[in-house]
C-alpha cells in the first residue's frame, strides 16, 4: 500500500497560508511549482513535493465581470469581477481583486497575493502592486 504524506494537500495548503503568505508546492525532482495542491507532480509524476512561501507577485491573465440583476425592491447588486492570475513562479489561479472596482482591472495588471478568510477556509486574493496603481 502506498504511504500517505503527512497531511492531505488541501489541509496542508490551509495550514501553510494561515501565516498570511502564499505557499506553493515545489517538485524536488523537476523543480516546477505546483498549484492546485496535489500529492504528485503533474509535470513529472514525482511524489516529492515540498511547500515553500513564494513572492505572491503575478499578472492578470484574463478577467470577466458578472453583471447581476437586482430583484424588485431590493438593493442594487454589485458587479463581480473574477480574474485568472499568472504567478511569477509559474502556476495560474482563479481569484479576485476585492479592493479594486471591476472597471479598473486590466489584463496585464501587476498584482500581489493576500490571504483572506477564516481558519480552514482561506483563499488567495490579490491587490494591485503599488507601481501599477
Chain positions contacting other proteins, by CB under 8 A:
10, 35-36, 61-67, 69, 80, 82, 84, 92-96, 107-108, 117, 121, 123, 125
Please tell me whether residue 25 adopts helix, strand or coil conformation.
strand
C-alpha cell at 103: 472597471
At closest approach, how far in Å is the CB of 127 from other proteins? 15
Cβ neighbours around 77 below 10 Å, total: 12
Q: Which is nearer to other proteins, 46 or 123 (CB)?
A: 123
Cβ neighbours around 105 below 10 Å, total: 19
Q: Which is nearer to other proteins, 8 or 53 (CB)?
A: 8
* CB 122, CB 18: distance < 8 Å: yes
At closest approach, how far in Å is the CB of 48 from other proteins? 22
Rg (CA), the chain: 17
Q: Are strands 92-95 and 80-87 parallel, antiparallel or unpaired?
A: antiparallel
Q: Which is nearer to other proteins, 16 or 96 (CB)?
A: 96
Q: Which is nearer to other proteins, 53 or 117 (CB)?
A: 117
At closest approach, how far in Å is the CB of 123 from other proteins? 4
At closest approach, how far in Å is the CB of 69 from other proteins? 8
As a whole number of angstroms, the distance between CA 84 and CA 39 comes to: 23
Amino acid at each position: 500500500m502506498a504511504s500517505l504524506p503527512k497531511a492531505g494537500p488541501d489541509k496542508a495548503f490551509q495550514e501553510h497560508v494561515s501565516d498570511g503568505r502564499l505557499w506553493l508546492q515545489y517538485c524536488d525532482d523537476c523543480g516546477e511549482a505546483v498549484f492546485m495542491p496535489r500529492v504528485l507532480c503533474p509535470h513529472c509524476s514525482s511524489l516529492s513535493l515540498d511547500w515553500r512561501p513564494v513572492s505572491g507577485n503575478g499578472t492578470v491573465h484574463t478577467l470577466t465581470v458578472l453583471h447581476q440583476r437586482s430583484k424588485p425592491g431590493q438593493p442594487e447588486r454589485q458587479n463581480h469581477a473574477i480574474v485568472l492570475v499568472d504567478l511569477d513562479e509559474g502556476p495560474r489561479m482563479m481569484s479576485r481583486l476585492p479592493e479594486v472596482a471591476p472597471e479598473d482591472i486590466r489584463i496585464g495588471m501587476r498584482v500581489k497575493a493576500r490571504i483572506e478568510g477564516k481558519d480552514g477556509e482561506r483563499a488567495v486574493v490579490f491587490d494591485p502592486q503599488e507601481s501599477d496603481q
